[in-house]
Structure 1
Amino acid sequence: MNDPRKPMFWRDSRMPYVELRVVGDGRKVCYAPHSHSQWSLGAIVEGNSTFVYRDNQYKVSAGTLVIMNPEWIHACNPIDNQPWGYLMLYIDTNWLTNLRYEIGLLDTPCWQDISTAILSSPEWYAGYCRVAECLLRTDSELLEKQTVVVEYLTALMFELADQEVVSQPKPPDNLQVLAAYLKEHAIEEVSLDTLCEISGYSPGHLIRTFKHYFGFTPHAYLINYRIQRGQHELKQGIPIAETAFNTGFADQPHFQRTFKKLLAATPKQYRQSLLNQQIDTTGGE
């Protein structure tokens, strides 16, 4: 039987655009602020938690959906050691962009952020749980899983399309160049002097301005990106030690500590998918 205190992940190589995380007892699951390259949709199935999303903070409880745009900083943590369980869908951004474009919600196949952060509708929550249950059932056929995912997300995208479009301030060109530099040199040791030379800013001004536009300091941005790369490699089956080296960490223990700090799961837990396991998604006994 699965230990409900340990985070678990469902993946299927035939559906690379969707990943599901299951946490049955999240009282010991604590996140540092982080972001994902995917669009994320979570369901609180038990208890209460605090959802920090950019500059806002929400108290969310069972029956609530939380929505996270790609690369938006967030953290969701339990309140006073109260019971807390959740499901989290990670949807590939390019795949979801194409879905929204093909159904006529985007004029061009370019990602557009969604303004809604919280969805409290029982209907959408129940639909979410049905999707998760289908993905986790061992007797669900591939076509059934693909269908429920596309049907639910298509309907949800139409529901959210009436919301006001989010307009975020675009970083200056020099900061966009700097962010690209950090990604390109992610496995190297990067100095603040070099970043100042590239951006033309003083150290203090650079850190403040970069954080204003990206939500991270340059160093935190670099670490977050390394962990994103680490997730990708682990999903490909690359050994943990090799992934640590490939993503620029000094050693495997450093990679493991950082991975768990940001994602509240160890690299080993993340590698283990739930393709052939069945889990109760109701949050009950």
Structure 2
Amino acid sequence: MAHSQPHHPASRFLRDPRLPWLEIRRVRAGNAFSHGMHSHDCHSFGAILSGHSEYRNGTHSTDVGRGDTVIINVEDRHACNSRSDAAWSYDMIYLDSHWLAERCSAATGAANIDIPMFSAGTSADPRLHSALVKLADALDSPSVTRLECESHAETLCGLLHDSLHPLPLPDVPPERLERVMEFMASEWQRDLSLQELCHVADCGPTSLIAAFRHHYGLTPHAALVDLRVRQARQRLRRGLAIADVAQDCGFADQAHLQRTFKRLLATTPAHYQGRRLRP
């Protein structure tokens, strides 16, 4: 579960001890904040949600607004401050640079650089912006699983790889993906990590996410949730209590099961359990 630190009402920091390579800051109506030029010991990516601001990176300055993403390499000196009266809101994702380097190799020919250094300072790609916000939403949810957050992070890395630093990802044979599906089918009740699934598939996390999307049309996390919902349906048909089903099937609580059930099946566990076939 993500932990919020003591914060200004407009700003919250989110961290999860299971994901030490990730930190998120969510700012809402942060017009009063004034940032001086500063740097981070990691890569950072900011999704502008509303308002307009001036983004400075080194000697370069540009205006950014809703839908834009700012891209900040490790140790880049930068600042971003509101330039209008409209509420200035954004999500900032901080990723450990060495964790990122395992997914986005250093630029071709950059022999002395072992971490990616992106040349673009901003992006208007809506997919990248959406991936940043979805990762922040996931870490901000009390019912988030480790695999869910990891999947969102790997999806983000895949988009960074494709849109900002295009190098080919290694292909993952379908039989390896089938091994992962079989592994999840036997271990679906546990809090599985992406590292475990990569070990089964013998590939990297970004490649695994991309291969799952290509072959199955969903992420490993979505496949695991589907397995858990199928198990929940079996238990509900047997008349087990919904709260017990939620606990048995790997959901955070009854409300988490209900939200997931409704999202996937357009009905609630109680409604599903109350159905009876007429003789």
**TM-score, with length taken from structure 2:** 0.53
State which drifts further: 122-131 or 58-67.
122-131
Describe how 1:84-123 pairs up with structure 2 within 5 A: 84-101=88-105, 110-123=114-127
Residue 131 (structure 1) aligns with:
135
- Cα distance, 1:9 vs structure 2: 0.2
Say yes or no: does 1:150 pair with 2:154. Answer: yes
- In structure 1, how many angstroms separate the alpha carbons of the residues matched to 2:83 and 2:39? 21
Q: Which has the higher Rg, Structure 1 or Structure 2? A: 2
Shift of 1:59: 0.6
Runs (4+) of structure 1 exceeding 4 A deviation are 2-5, 104-109
For residues 186-201 of structure 1, the aligned pairs below 5 Å read none
Change (3 A) 1:139 1:106: farther
Tell me how far apart the structure 2 counterparts of residues 116 and 106 of structure 1 sit (CA, whole Å).
16
2:38 aligned to 30, 34, 37, which one? 34
Distance 1:92 1:105, change over 3 A: farther
CA contact (8 A) 2:7 2:13 kept: no
Q: Supply the RMSD in Å over aligned alpha carbons.
A: 2.6
Seq. identity, %? 27
Question: Higher relative contact order at CA 8 Å, sep ≥6: structure 1 or structure 2?
Answer: 1
1:100 match: secondary structure: coil
Superposed CA deviations along residues 127-159 of structure 1, whole A, max 9, x for unmatched, are 222221112111121111111111221232222
Q: Is the 8 A contact 2:49 2:91 kept in 1?
A: yes
1:49 maps to: 53
Task: Give the Cα separation in 2 of the matches to 1:146 and 1:48.
Answer: 30
Amino acid of the residue matched to residue 118 of structure 1?
Answer: T
Classify the secondary structure of the residue corresponding to 1:132.
helix
**In 2, are the aligned partners of 1:20 and 1:132 still within 8 Å (CA)?**
yes
1:62 aligned residue: 66
The code of the aligned residue for 1:141 comes to T
**Aligned CA distance change for structure 1 residues 12 and 133 (closer, same or farther; 3 Å):** same
Structure 1: 5+ residue runs without aligned partners?
164-285
Change (3 A) 1:105 1:23: farther
CA distance in 2, matches of 1:13, 1:129: 20
Unaligned regions of 5+ residues in structure 2, if any? 1-5, 168-279
Are 1:97 and 1:109, in contact at CA under 8 Å, matched by a contact in 2?
Answer: no
Give 3-state SS (helix, strand or coil) of 2:130's partner.
Answer: helix
For residues 118 and 111 of structure 2, the distance between their equivalents in structure 1, rounded to whole angstroms, comes to 15
- Cα distance per residue 1:184-218 (max 9 Å; x no partner): xxxxxxxxxxxxxxxxxxxxxxxxxxxxxxxxxxx
